[in-house]
Structure 1
């Protein structure tokens, strides 16, 4: 592979990439609540903070030096692929039997930002050739400019300008050496070195980069010590990052521009606070770590609050997974629709039903949550107390097919299997639905 890359270095000037070396920022979309308060901004459909591309002159020289020192110390001498680093990585990885060392140059990282590829051997090879082609048609300064406009700096932030403004409240040209070293360390692993989520790791890498700059002669002892002693403060997140899961859904359904939604940011914040308080209590007793909240306006069906998770940035607990649209078994939450069907077929809330030992035709014994039997109960009591046995008996009487059809009428599109697949267990919520379907169905029931 090394010899093939050497040959490519000689031939690829004839095949230089005609495309610009900086990612296209694309069209912007701003999602707001019903009163025009900003929720989230997007560039070209990507859920990220970004600024318009800036020239290399608008990037602090400290950031350029820190980035080259940590990401690609031979950047100004290699042709896009560092053959020495490739050879070292191949030797170290083969010796350890797994990937322990990488060899991506700044140019390769730009190629990856321009055209993402799978992290496979063939994907890596294609990335190398793209880097060689970029170098064949662009100056080193143009490649650096593209890099600083296109790479990720954690917290869904793209580009050095956006990162400088987000973390420090400064344009990229005005950041200090200490701030530059912090930023330069993030692209290696934007999740692990995110200053918001993992400040200790981010600042540990900052100190490592400053030491590398000193050892490589890019810093003198005085500047090194001044940078180490500088107290770098991270600016709190901008408030315009609210209801991220909802904003994602809204952005998918709209075009570029300013999109005013039905969400009420005050209700959103109240719902998010309530979820956090409940999870704090549940976590101690039952180790529950995540949840979701959806608030609709019954009369119109408009979304007032959409909390997809407790913490969007909590990757350890799947914070970016939207709990409002994720499939979950609803349990007893389907029982009101079952009894609504029974009432529509002539049953009365005062009718008596037996809560006694019972097995379904498949031989499965139904049990109540309290493991007790309550004898003869009225339908209204069976529903109010969420007894399982009367629910299964009612499903058997109304017919599972009819119940499934009724749920379909209420919008439960996720229940797409035949009635036999669910059986009477459908009355106990054995089918998977989304919170969005469930809340919309309850709103329809209320109407």
Structure 2
């Protein structure tokens, strides 16, 4: 019976992944950009979260190292399941008399994100089998990209780029080392390590991760000291909404299925030029106020 079960599992793992399994679900919001690539607005996903997919190649290697240090130190050395971590978690759970530590690898976490399962022994077994199947069909970079874009960072933010924009008002690629490392600890406990509400706890966890990176030689002592000394400009950065009338018109022109699918939409608007024109029009209307002028329009013949 055991032999048959093992054979069935091996055959199941070798089967191709189901079609659409890796698609973003729910679809990410729609990112609207001006002609230079600047953000005009990002809509929310159908579930109310804000998410945006970013390729792993766009992320700083030091940032990735920070995530691995806090979530799965042996990520590149296991095949989906870290037996050493699993044994350690099992001993912890036995002492506690309940499941308090899952020993989940990043691959196992991705498996739960793609195929939600109960947080019990049956759910853990399902997580393990799906992790083995993912490792059979995806390389480590693809798995890590899935995790970084699906992890929850609190306050309705899903994925690292959405978190970077919410907490620091900038894209993931524009973060300083101090900012990136601060965000890296949030997925472990999104409520407890919410930097807007529990900054001290978040920084203690961040400094602990820093110590691990220094011990491994990934970060020098001087670099760690610089990161600790760097001030953080944390604040809620809710949705940007530049040129709202233009953006609303642009979105209305899209077919419903395109709006629902999310993604990026490049527009013809030059936001920098738009702001210059708005300022000049405002000044001109003010100068002509004695003529009871209240509105004005501009036609641009050449944007260069």
- Shorter-normalised TM range: 0.5 to 0.7
The 8 Å contact of residues 151 and 158 in structure 1, kept in 2 or not, is answered as yes
CA distance, structure 2, for counterparts of residue 67 and residue 9 of structure 1: 31
- Which residue in the other structure is 2:144 paired with? 144
Q: Which has the higher contact order (CA 8 A, sep 6+)?
A: 2
Change (3 A) 1:117 1:22: same
Secondary structure of the residue that 1:101 maps to in structure 2? coil
The Cα offsets for residues 109-160 of structure 1, whole Å up to 9 and x where unpaired, read as 1112222222121111111111111111000000111111111111110011
Query: Map of 1:169-318 to 2, 5 A cutoff?
Result: 169-238=169-238
Change (3 A) 1:175 1:22: farther
CA distance, structure 2, for counterparts of residue 211 and residue 95 of structure 1: 28
Give the TM-score taking structure 1 as reference length: 0.47
- Which residue in the other structure is 2:49 paired with? 48
Change (3 A) 1:239 1:172: closer
Larger radius of gyration: 1
The Cα offsets for residues 136-192 of structure 1, whole Å up to 9 and x where unpaired, read as 100000011111111111111001111111112222122222112111111111111
- Which residue in the other structure is 1:343 paired with? none
The Cα offsets for residues 218-243 of structure 1, whole Å up to 9 and x where unpaired, read as 211121111111112213331679xx
The 8 Å contact of residues 62 and 176 in structure 1, kept in 2 or not, is answered as no
Query: Map of 1:299-378 to 2, 5 A cutoff?
Result: none
Give the TM-score taking structure 2 as reference length: 0.68
More helix by share: 2
* Unpaired segments ≥5 residues, structure 2: 32-41, 242-255, 261-304
The 8 Å contact of residues 60 and 174 in structure 1, kept in 2 or not, is answered as no
CA distance, structure 1, for counterparts of residue 239 and residue 78 of structure 2: 43
The 8 Å contact of residues 42 and 48 in structure 1, kept in 2 or not, is answered as yes
- Which residue in the other structure is 1:401 paired with? none
Alpha-carbon RMSD: 3.2
The 8 Å contact of residues 69 and 213 in structure 1, kept in 2 or not, is answered as yes
Query: Map of 1:70-149 to 2, 5 A cutoff?
Result: 70-149=70-149
Change (3 A) 1:143 1:60: same
The Cα offsets for residues 188-230 of structure 1, whole Å up to 9 and x where unpaired, read as 1111111222222222211111112112222111211111111
CA distance, structure 1, for counterparts of residue 160 and residue 216 of structure 2: 23
Secondary structure of the residue that 1:76 maps to in structure 2? helix
More strand by share: 1
